[in-house]
């Protein structure tokens, strides 16, 4: 039987890290090689309670970033953006492909991803969910058909703990709409308040809600005078993002250097 793909998980103590570990524990193709918790420039070891149910003799838990990455076949990073540079540098050093699902990345981070992808293969997506990436594709199709006829709005709902707003997914939807319709950031409005002029035909508004424990809901609306089209995705379990992340890690095995997205992983 062929050896399983060994995956190192960076940010394993977070909500997503725990979900990824659970998916890996059930995978027939990949397994957990090592797990690292990243916080600033300090890497902390895992609490044993985070990996209950996994066979300890099959898994190495490490607080050493270099050791964890060098001993893996692929890396999944769901830590925090402040450690992305360290993660990419270490992956580059050991020539290890990496899946980056960390949110709130700046343009500087994205440039770093592009530069590093000249050395190693990287999958980066603001949302690893298979369903959300279908949402991206359907939004592109709808924009091509209805974009010049419709008023377009984006709604982003997440749990009260989420720090970035709008979400990376909402930002990706915005980018798809702008590129498809040849519009610019000047057409974007974030919420509305006060006495406003009549809506500009090319305006695209983004509305952000942060409340409760909502995992992630996104809807793109296309309004015409005669009808309304709504394209929605509602996450019911964080496992959906974990499944996509593990699928992306498996996609990267043996892949040529370059920057890939989930469209590439899913054949969209």
Q: What does the pLDDT look like over 119-158, one tens digit per residue? A: 999 999 888 899 999 999 999 999 999 999 999 999 999 9
- Residue 218 among the catalytic residues: no
Are 38 and 165 members of one domain? no
- The per-residue pLDDT of the chain, averaged, comes to 88
Are 91 and 60 members of one domain? yes
For residue 74, the tally of other CB atoms under 10 A from its CB is: 26
Are 167 and 229 members of one domain? yes
Distance in angstroms (rounded) separating the CA atoms of residues 165 and 235:
17
Q: Which range, 55-64, 67-76, 89-98, is most confident?
A: 89-98
- Residue 137 among the catalytic residues: no
Res 40: pLDDT: 40
Are 34 and 75 members of one domain? yes
Res 102: pLDDT: 86
b/e string for 241-254 if b means 16 or more Cβ within 10 A? bbbbbbbbbbbbee
pLDDT class of 32 with cuts at 50, 70, 90: confident
Q: What percent of the chain has pLDDT over 70?
A: 90
Q: Is the pLDDT of residue 99 over 70?
A: yes
Taking residues 196-202, report their average pLDDT.
94
Of the residues 67, 162, 207, 239, only one is catalytic, namely 162
CATH number of the domain residue 224 falls in: 3.30.360.10
Are 124 and 134 members of one domain? no
Of the residues 158, 174, 233, 247, only one is catalytic, namely 158
Q: Is 178 exposed, middle or buried (0-12, 13-18, 19+ CB in 10 A)?
A: middle
Is 45 among the annotated ligand-binding positions?
no
Taking residues 79-92, report their average pLDDT.
91
Are 154 and 32 members of one domain? no
Are 152 and 183 members of one domain? yes
* 132, containing H or E segment: helix 130-146
Q: Is the pLDDT of residue 200 over 90?
A: yes
Are 73 and 187 members of one domain? no
Res 195: pLDDT: 96
pLDDT class of 45 with cuts at 50, 70, 90: very low
Res 28: pLDDT: 87
What is the number of structural domains in the chain?
2
Domain assignment of residue 169, given as a range? 130-234
Where do runs of H (alpha helix) occur along 31-129?
65-70, 84-94, 107-116
Is 2 among the annotated ligand-binding positions?
no
pLDDT in tens, 153-191: 999 999 999 988 999 899 999 999 999 999 999 999 999
Question: In the chain, which ranges are E strands?
Answer: 5-10, 30-39, 42-44, 74-77, 98-100, 121-124, 151-158, 188-190, 204-210, 217-223, 228-234, 258-260
Are 157 and 230 members of one domain? yes
Q: Is the pLDDT of residue 46 over 80?
A: no
Are 248 and 209 members of one domain? no
Taking residues 28-50, report their average pLDDT.
58
pLDDT in tens, 100-110: 988 888 899 99
Is 102 among the annotated ligand-binding positions?
yes
Are 108 and 73 members of one domain? yes
Q: Is the pLDDT of residue 256 over 80?
A: yes
CATH number of the domain residue 44 falls in: 3.40.50.720
Are 119 and 242 members of one domain? yes
Distances (CA, A) of 114 to 65, 175, 264: 22, 17, 16
Is 13 among the annotated ligand-binding positions?
yes
Res 15: pLDDT: 80
Res 37: pLDDT: 66
């Amino acid at each position: 039987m062929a050896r399983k793909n060994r995956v190192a998980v960076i940010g394993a103590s977070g909500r997503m890290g725990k979900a990824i570990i659970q998916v890996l524990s059930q995978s027939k193709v990949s397994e957990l090689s090592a797990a690292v918790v990243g916080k600033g420039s300090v890497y902390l070891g895992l609490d044993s309670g985070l990996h209950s149910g996994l066979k300890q003799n099959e898994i190495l838990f490490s607080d050493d970033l270099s050791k964890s990455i060098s001993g893996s076949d692929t890396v999944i990073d769901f830590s925090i953006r402040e450690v992305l540079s360290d993660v990419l540098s270490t992956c580059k050093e050991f020539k290890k492909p990496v899946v980056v699902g960390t949110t709130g990345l700046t343009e500087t981070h994205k440039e770093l991803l592009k530069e590093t992808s000249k050395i190693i293969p990287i999958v980066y997506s603001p949302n690893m969910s298979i369903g959300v990436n279908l949402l991206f594709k359907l939004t592109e199709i709808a924009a091509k058909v209805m974009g010049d006829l419709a008023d377009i709005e984006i709604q982003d709902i997440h749990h009260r703990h989420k720090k970035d707003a709008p979400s990376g997914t909402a930002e990706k939807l915005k980018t798809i709409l702008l590129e498809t319709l040849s519009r610019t950031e000047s057409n974007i409005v974030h919420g509305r308040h006060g006495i406003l002029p009549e809506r500009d035909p090319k305006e695209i508004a983004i509305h952000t809600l942060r409340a409760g424990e909502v995992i992630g809901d996104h809807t793109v609306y296309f309004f015409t005078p005669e009808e309304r089209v709504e394209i929605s995705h509602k996450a019911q379990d964080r496992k959906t993002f974990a499944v996509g992340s593990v699928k992306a890690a498996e996609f990267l095995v043996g892949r040529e250097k370059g920057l890939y997205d989930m469209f590439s992983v899913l054949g969209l």
